[in-house]
């Protein structure tokens, strides 16, 4: 059987201190062929991140199969917008409006039965592009980026309406989910939470609660108010996972395959393996250079240079057909 077939894929959860990876294989018992966890010595150093990804590739014994990297660094937020029935030009107009009005440059299209959602993400696009480039240098193929809440929502059991993920000592997020699509998600304070950890709840969480809210402070405030007023009890035992229609088996907390460790990487691997249907990549809408980009040119005058302060020169007016005819018909005066 070819490696590039349904059920084969790699998912990696990326934080600034640790990488967690899962490799799915259609021939493996339970689907999970390998799981690994690799420390990141220095996230800001390209060579250090490349070394961690290379070690992850070796630990997973990774063949050339599709890979999805899940990331949701601190201060990131996410929310969904209904774009059911929108055409291509209408989607582009919606993306441009989100960037211009609310600063949302990254979007992901998610199909959910007859509905179509546009997931808007606020995060550092430079870090996302950097991660994708370094993963390609490490030898992972067919790379794509997933927001971690989107990856996690793929593997949560039916009925779960909210989840909290503590991914690293300085990275955690909370989200409300509707089926397999996150409604809203945002970074939370990880202090005092067990890492890695995953809690879930099954109480009522109306998805329409956040309609009309776009600003990050409003989204986070309303999400916390909704979750704090809910009667649902948070529990790590409620966070049962699934791979497609099949339940994911339970493993002890120290096992690399434990749900609390592998949940986000598992969701990314499910997407890479084609078990979540057809997926769209993250689309970054760029309308032009930002003010920050322009400030970078201050120390490089050869990049942007003013050539002249003079107004543009007007082209001379061409003679009309009548003037050209008269010029040919009338003899020129000879100078004495």
Q: Tokens in use for 298?
A: 């201050």
Pick the residue with more confidence: 285 or 293?
Answer: 285
Q: Tokens in use for 87?
A: 């055409």
Residue 173 falls inside a structural domain:
yes
Q: Are 250 and 263 in contact (CB under 8 A)?
A: no
Residue 311 per-residue DSSP state: P
Which structural domain, as residue segments, surrounds residue 163? 9-284
> What is the mean predicted confidence (pLDDT) over 19-25?
96
Residue 335 falls inside a structural domain:
no
Could you give the number of structural domains in the chain? 1
Residue 3 falls inside a structural domain:
no
Q: Are 67 and 9 in contact (CB under 8 A)?
A: yes
Quick check: 301 pLDDT over 60?
no
CB count within 10 Å of CB 115 equals 15
pTM: 0.82
Q: What is the mean pLDDT of the chain?
A: 86
Residue 305 falls inside a structural domain:
no
For the stretch 150-186, pLDDT in tens is: 999 999 999 899 999 999 988 999 999 998 999 999 9
Residue 249 falls inside a structural domain:
yes
> What is the mean predicted confidence (pLDDT) over 58-80?
94
Residues near 236 by beta carbon (within 8 Å), at least 6 away in sequence? 197, 198, 199, 200, 260
Quick check: 333 pLDDT over 60?
no
Residue 334 falls inside a structural domain:
no
Instruction: Give the pairing type, strands 181-187 and 197-201.
Output: unpaired
C-alpha pair distances (Å), 176 with each of 26, 116, 229: 31, 17, 14
Which pLDDT belongs to residue 294? 46
> How many CA atoms within 13 Å lie on the side-chain side of 83?
23
């Amino acid at each position: 059987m070819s490696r590039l077939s349904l059920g084969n894929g790699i998912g990696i959860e990326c934080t600034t201190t640790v990488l967690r990876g899962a490799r799915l294989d259609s021939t493996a018992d339970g689907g999970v062929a390998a799981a690994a966890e690799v420390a990141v010595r220095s996230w800001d150093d390209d060579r250090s991140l490349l070394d961690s990804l290379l070690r992850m590739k070796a630990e997973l014994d990774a063949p050339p199969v599709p890979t999805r990297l899940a990331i949701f660094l601190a201060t990131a937020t996410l929310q969904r917008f209904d774009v059911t029935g929108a055409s291509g030009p209408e989607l582009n107009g919606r993306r441009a409006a989100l960037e211009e009005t609310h600063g949302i440059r990254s979007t992901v299209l998610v199909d959910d039965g007859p509905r179509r959602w546009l997931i808007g993400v606020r995060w550092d696009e430079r870090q996302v592009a950097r991660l994708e480039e370094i993963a390609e240098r490490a030898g992972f193929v067919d790379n794509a980026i997933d927001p971690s809440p989107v990856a996690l929502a793929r593997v949560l059991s039916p009925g779960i309406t909210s989840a909290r993920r503590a991914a690293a000592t300085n990275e955690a997020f909370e989200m409300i989910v509707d089926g397999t699509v996150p409604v809203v998600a945002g970074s939370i304070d990880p202090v005092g939470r067990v890492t890695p950890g995953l809690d879930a709840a099954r109480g009522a969480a109306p998805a329409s609660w956040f309609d009309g809210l776009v600003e990050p402070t409003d989204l986070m405030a309303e999400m916390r108010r909704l979750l704090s007023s809910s009667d649902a009890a948070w529990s790590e035992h409620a966070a049962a996972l699934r791979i497609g229609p099949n339940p994911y088996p339970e493993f002890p907390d120290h096992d690399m395959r434990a749900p609390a460790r592998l949940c986000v990487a598992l969701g990314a691997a499910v997407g890479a393996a084609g078990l979540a249907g057809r997926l769209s990549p993250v689309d970054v809408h760029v309308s032009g250079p930002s003010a920050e980009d322009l400030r970078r040119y201050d120390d490089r005058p050869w990049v942007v240079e003013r050539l002249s302060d003079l107004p543009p020169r007007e082209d001379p007016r061409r003679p009309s057909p009548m003037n050209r005819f008269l010029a040919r018909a009338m003899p020129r005066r000879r100078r004495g």
